[in-house]
Amino acid sequence: MQEAVQFTPYTVASAMGKILWLIPALPIVAAGILALLKQPRRKLASSLAIGSLSISLLLALAAFGDVLAGWASGHAVRETVNFAWLHFGATPMDLGWILDPLSAVMLVMVTLVGLLIFIYSTGYMAQDENYTRFFCFLSLFAGAMLGVVIANSLLLLFMCWEIVGLTSYLLIGFWYQKPSAAAAAKKAFLTTRVGDIFFILGIVWLFAQTGTLLFYNQGAGNMEPLALGGLLAAPAAWGLSAATVIGLLIFAGAAGKSGQLPLHVWLPDAMEGPTPVSALIHAATMVAAGVYLIARVYPLMSAGIIAGGTTTALTVVTWVGASTAVFAALIAVAQNDIKRILAYSTISQLGYMMAGLGLGGVAVGMFHLITHAFFKALLFMGAGSVIHGCHEEQDVRRMGGLWKAMPWTFGTYAVGMLALSGFPLVFSGFWSKDAILESAHKWHAGQGPYFLLVFGALLTAFYMTRQVSYVFFGKYRGHGHAHESPRVMTAPLAILAFFAIALGVVGTPAWPWFRSFLTDRPASFGLTGFSEPGLFILMATSTLVVFLGLALGWALYGNKSPRAEEPDTLERAMPPVWRALSNRLYVDEFYGATFIAFYHWWARVADWLDRRVWGGMVAAVMWFFGLWARFNRFLDEDWVNGGFDKGCEELSVGGGLLARVQSGRVQTYLRLLALAVVVLAAILIWSARG
């Protein structure tokens, strides 16, 4: 079900639109100040970071209100402020920002979740000695992420995108003393780089085709019909249009950032970073940037779509998303690290979002993005709270029975878990996932993604049940005594839990407010939304699947409290499958055996070339110049110097002779004078006679 997005009226930038740049600028400035701050100024550091982001949140809310008011009064808001940044000859490089429903929603989500995680971090990182640095990076990340959100230019978006990648690298490797953290940071950076290369190729191609990188510019932007028509008409290769190929290249960048197959390998390792980082960057915001990017360039992805049909680019997005969803969910089943389970879950959910974009358009994908951001941040922070309470233990098999010791954490975690699993009716995750499933069911190009996604939903419910059973039920198997986390950490959990439930309200079929808002249609409340054909069957199916997953998980793991050394229940049932899953389906090993091995081999070849061939050439040149220099030295010393020395010698001898004349005796001078007179007179007389 594709919606043709219609934004007809372009309003001139309002006051809000003009100061929109402040939203990312404030945290970036805060980061700059924090970078100069001394380590011991902890209180100041956290207040500065939190304060700046709070102002950003207020501004974001004001911007959201602006857009909301415009929407309510019946004309869509899409304010852009563009300006030329550079000129290449006559071609201007434009930057700009945009305020439309999409960016407004993202702004509110990022600032709100970010603020809660900042507050949570003050508790979580309280003991860390690099507290100031942590908040500096965090602020920088928040600013850059907000920059990605408001960018109206692919170039500005890419710049912020790279800063986001940088902060991700810095924060994954925050505890750089741990070799695993340093390695994970490198892995994350390099893997996303693979995607970014395709991304920048797409950007360059798009610029070459349309001459602009602005998304919207009074009809001249590259996401507007004029440019899209040109892109569709331009052929690329294999019968694809330029629009499709550029769309796929940009999607490769998005896949790298959002951990889609086959570039997902960095995301689980990224959990080496501090838990608030995992929550903010690797669950709620940065990884969603890829999804947001696809939503932003959706007009390009869907260019030339026929009603009810699909495009090549969107088909690829759908299939990649659906496969990622199932693939990551499968791996999540066999993981024992509490954060890794959540990481694979995140990859899986990102797959859902991508599939949602491909199947149902911007609204479907974005709705899941927003709901997921809240409940996944909740789960990560809950996991952080658990890790904190269990003395930095991350293995779920060494936990258990925590519901008594950590009631707040347990309660909120349960909300997050049920939202993620898609527990019917009351949780937001149900509605957002349902919208994706509904779109998949209606997809004309085939039912493959639908089945994959339903299977993924089953797995999701199953692995979350397994995790919760391990962590919160049964007997405590860890060391020491588990304790509840401080209020500063649990309060954000409670707020996030509230949103994890409440957000569902705006996306039910009865009141599809969110979808209407993003696609600029009036929203109406009515139970008629449920009367769409097949909707009830679909809801019933997904409910059934979720309950099946929950029941299966509880049956296998509920109240078992197995010891860590014991093999897993599933492992006993199907050892080969388990082994494959717990080894993450050997993707890392596959990469190691292929790409990494190739690079090793290639590095060796390059090394050999460097040493033997290029080194040899350099040595030959060096030898030649050495010879030349020796020849020159010979010339210099024996000829030039010799001549010069000779000249100097002559001069000095002559000087000595003359110096003898200058004896200092006046009478000698007088004598010479008289002699000269005689000689002069003689000459005169001689010449006078002649």
Partner 1 sequence: MNVVFWILAVVTVAGALAAVTLKNTVHCALALTTAFAGLALLFLELDAQFAGFAQILVYIGAVAILVVFAILLTRGSETPDSGVFSRTWFAGLLIAAAVFAVLGWAVLHSTAALPGSEGSAMAPAVTVQQIGNALMSRYVLPLEIVALLLTSAMIGAVIVALHEKGEQPK
Partner 2 sequence: MTPLAGYLLVAALVFAIGLAGALTRRNAILVLIGIELMLNAANLNFVAFWRYLPHPEALTGMMFAVFSIAVAAAEAAVGLGLVIAIYRHAHTTDLDEMNRMKG
Alpha helices in 304-337 (DSSP H): 312-333
Question: Which region, judged by CB under 8 A, interacts with partner 1, from 38-46, 340-348, 632-640, 674-682?
Answer: 674-682
Please tell me whether residue 74 binds partner 2 under the rule CB under 8 A. no
If DSSP codes are grouped into helix, strand and coil, which group holds residue 79?
strand
Please tell me whether residue 662 binds partner 2 under the rule CB under 8 A. yes
Please tell me whether residue 682 binds partner 1 under the rule CB under 8 A. yes
In whole angstroms, what is the distance from residue 22 CA to residue 647 CA? 76
Q: Which of 593, 613, 653, 685 binds partner 1 (CB under 8 A)?
A: 685
Please tell me whether residue 658 binds partner 2 under the rule CB under 8 A. yes
Please tell me whether residue 239 binds partner 2 under the rule CB under 8 A. no
Measure Cα distances from 428 to 373, 374, 433, 455 in Å: 11, 10, 9, 20
Task: Report, in Å, the least distance between residue 652 CB and partner 2.
Answer: 13
Task: Report, in Å, the least distance between residue 655 CB and partner 2.
Answer: 9
Question: Which region, judged by CB under 8 A, interacts with partner 2, from 29-37, 146-154, 290-298, 657-665?
Answer: 657-665
Residue 617 CB-density burial (10 A; 0-12 exposed, 13-18 middle, 19+ buried): exposed
Q: Which is nearer to partner 2, 73 or 667 (CB)?
A: 667
Q: Which of 39, 91, 528, 663 binds partner 2 (CB under 8 A)?
A: 663
Q: Which is nearer to partner 2, 69 or 677 (CB)?
A: 677
Q: Which is nearer to partner 2, 665 or 689 (CB)?
A: 665
* Amino acid identity for residue 559 in this structure: N
* Amino acid identity for residue 648 in this structure: C
- 685 makes contact, choosing from partner 2, partner 1, none, with CB < 5 to 8 Å by partner type, with partner 1
Alpha-carbon dihedral of residues 56, 61, 67, 73, nearest 10 degrees?
Answer: -150
* Amino acid identity for residue 513 in this structure: W
* CA nearest to 365, candidates 292, 256, 471: 292
Question: Which region, judged by CB under 8 A, interacts with partner 2, from 61-69, 100-108, 555-563, 661-669?
Answer: 661-669
Task: Report, in Å, the least distance between residue 667 CB and partner 2.
Answer: 6
Please tell me whether residue 652 binds partner 2 under the rule CB under 8 A. no
Which residues have C-beta within 8 Å of that of residue 581, sequence separation ≥ 6? 330, 331, 333, 334
In whole angstroms, what is the distance from residue 670 CA to residue 678 CA? 12
* Amino acid identity for residue 108 in this structure: V
Q: What tokens were used for 63?
A: 């911007």
In whole angstroms, what is the distance from residue 15 CA to residue 79 CA? 10
Q: What is the DSSP letter of 446?
A: -
* CA nearest to 117, candidates 283, 270, 269, 257: 283
Q: Which of 59, 667, 669, 687 binds partner 1 (CB under 8 A)?
A: 667
Q: What tokens were used for 374?
A: 């809240």
Please tell me whether residue 661 binds partner 2 under the rule CB under 8 A. yes
Q: Which is nearer to partner 1, 447 or 668 (CB)?
A: 668
Question: Which region, judged by CB under 8 A, interacts with partner 1, from 187-195, 383-391, 436-444, 672-680?
Answer: 672-680
Find the helix packing angle between 154-172 and 242-257, rounded to 10°. 20
Task: Report, in Å, the least distance between residue 682 CB and partner 1.
Answer: 6
In whole angstroms, what is the distance from residue 427 CA to residue 629 CA? 81
Q: Which is nearer to partner 2, 309 or 654 (CB)?
A: 654
Please tell me whether residue 659 binds partner 2 under the rule CB under 8 A. yes
Please tell me whether residue 657 binds partner 2 under the rule CB under 8 A. no
Nearest-5° angle of CA 296, CA 300, CA 305?
120
Please tell me whether residue 671 binds partner 1 under the rule CB under 8 A. yes
In whole angstroms, what is the distance from residue 517 CA to residue 106 CA? 13
Please tell me whether residue 677 binds partner 1 under the rule CB under 8 A. yes
Tell me the sheet residues that pair with 95. 83
Please tell me whether residue 675 binds partner 1 under the rule CB under 8 A. yes
Task: Report, in Å, the least distance between residue 663 CB and partner 1.
Answer: 10
Q: Which of 72, 226, 670, 682 binds partner 2 (CB under 8 A)?
A: 670
Number of Cβ within 10 Å of residue 629's Cβ equals 11
H-helix or E-strand containing 409?
helix 407-421
Q: Which of 642, 646, 668, 669 binds partner 1 (CB under 8 A)?
A: 668
Task: Report, in Å, the least distance between residue 689 CB and partner 1.
Answer: 9
Task: Report, in Å, the least distance between residue 676 CB and partner 2.
Answer: 13
Q: What tokens were used for 75?
A: 């004309």
Q: Which of 671, 679, 682, 684 binds partner 2 (CB under 8 A)?
A: 671
Nearest-5° angle of CA 342, CA 346, CA 348?
115
Question: Which region, judged by CB under 8 A, interacts with partner 1, from 101-109, 346-354, 382-390, 678-686?
Answer: 678-686
Residue ranges binding partner 2 (CB under 8 A): 658-659, 661-667, 670-671, 674
Residue ranges binding partner 1 (CB under 8 A): 667-668, 671, 674-675, 677-678, 681-682, 685
